[in-house]
Structure 1
């Protein structure tokens, strides 16, 4: 594990994944972490003459992603872990899978939200979908 992609949404579960990597980094000098925050692609419906423009909504989504990633990056950088942040728009799982390849990551480490079995069965969790769609090992941290 040298290049790890961490889907980061600012949740406690995502922070647990970062702290797990902080502990691992002591035994893995040179660990590199790519924090990825994926926001849904904003869309406008109807005739918005005086309302927000699509560009404004996209900028706001990316700014929100930057703020979330900044918090995660601060945790990692405080422990001298090389960190890059990436703010993306689109389907969360698809963008994570693309990012794994684009940034040449060998592992995905992510938190779980503790969905119950029924929720997981009906909706599927992001973690479950990531496990099935990325071409590298996925480390799930409780």
Structure 2
């Protein structure tokens, strides 16, 4: 059984992410943990009526959260009713990212799934602030970000964006490999270069190791020139090759870190059109989880 965490604010954006992951794992036994957090605004005591104390406000927020989760659960069961899937609800008076970290540890979560949305116009940011915070905060579990309005497509074309500057561990690549095996997908390794030049000795070694890890799946390596920004380049690449899922490792100086820190002027041009799988830096030794638990399996 896979344990999948689905944070929700009951928006259609969150519902779209829920639909995607339920359809993605429709043939596999899963436990979905539906999470809603609430932090009611506490007004200044000088302006608060005596009958409207903090406890009253918290109770109201808690009731709203519970009703929302019950309604979501009913909607899921009426829409899908998959006997392979079971659901648990979590309503928590907590900050979203803090609660996600706790639930990931407590429930041995294999995957966190969230919807993405940016604000409109000049305020638009890469994926939306909550998604970026989740990606930065979750250190021991992959995060799958689903764009608003994206309709489920079987991921038979998976892009893995990397610069070959870091040694990969098998446990870090396992989610991508298992996804490819589960859906008979092609993995397209994409390297974005600021200027086209030969790989360094270190990069070539890491590429060779990557090919070794990917030997069980069909894969190709693509080197592309940077267009304005890494995010814009990957957007164009995924469109031209009809990619269904973009995967990245999140570590210091990685593409993920660069994309979440790019100047707003550059980020504005980027829209997450396809699901993004972000895998944290697991490294060789993980104190909180053993090797078997780190090798997240997407296949039944």
TM interval, short-chain normalised:
0.7 to 0.9
Q: Which residue of the partner structure matches residue 15 of structure 1?
A: 15
| Match runs of 1:1-142 below 5 Å | 2-28=2-28, 30-47=29-46, 48=48, 50-78=50-78, 79-80=81-82, 81-115=85-119, 118-120=123-125, 125-134=129-138, 135-142=140-147
2:90 aligns to what SS in structure 1?
A: strand
Structure with more of its chain in helix, by fraction? 1
Asked if 2 retains the 8 angstrom alpha-carbon contact of 1:76 and 1:83, the reply is no
Asked if 2 retains the 8 angstrom alpha-carbon contact of 1:3 and 1:34, the reply is yes
* TM-fit CA distance, 1:72: 2.1
* TM-fit CA distance, 1:98: 1.4
* TM-fit CA distance, 1:90: 2.0
Instruction: Render the CA deviation track for 1:16-46: whole Å, top value 9, x for unaligned.
Output: 1111122123221x21100000111543522
Quick check: which has more Rg, 1 or 2?
2
CA distance in 2, matches of 1:66, 1:44: 23
CA distance in 2, matches of 1:126, 1:49: 33
Asked if 2 retains the 8 angstrom alpha-carbon contact of 1:8 and 1:68, the reply is no
* TM-fit CA distance, 1:76: 3.0
CA distance in 1, matches of 2:11, 2:136: 22
Which structure 2 residue ranges, 5 or more long, are not aligned? Answer: 148-300
TM-score by length of structure 1 reads 0.85
* TM-fit CA distance, 1:53: 1.9
2:125 aligns to what SS in structure 1?
A: helix
Asked if 1 retains the 8 angstrom alpha-carbon contact of 2:13 and 2:117, the reply is yes
1:110 aligns to what SS in structure 2?
A: strand
Residues paired across the two proteins, number = 139
CA distance in 2, matches of 1:115, 1:27: 35
CA distance in 2, matches of 1:101, 1:43: 29
The structure, 1 or 2, with the larger RCO (C-alpha pairs under 8 Å, 6+ apart) is: 1
* TM-fit CA distance, 1:14: 0.5
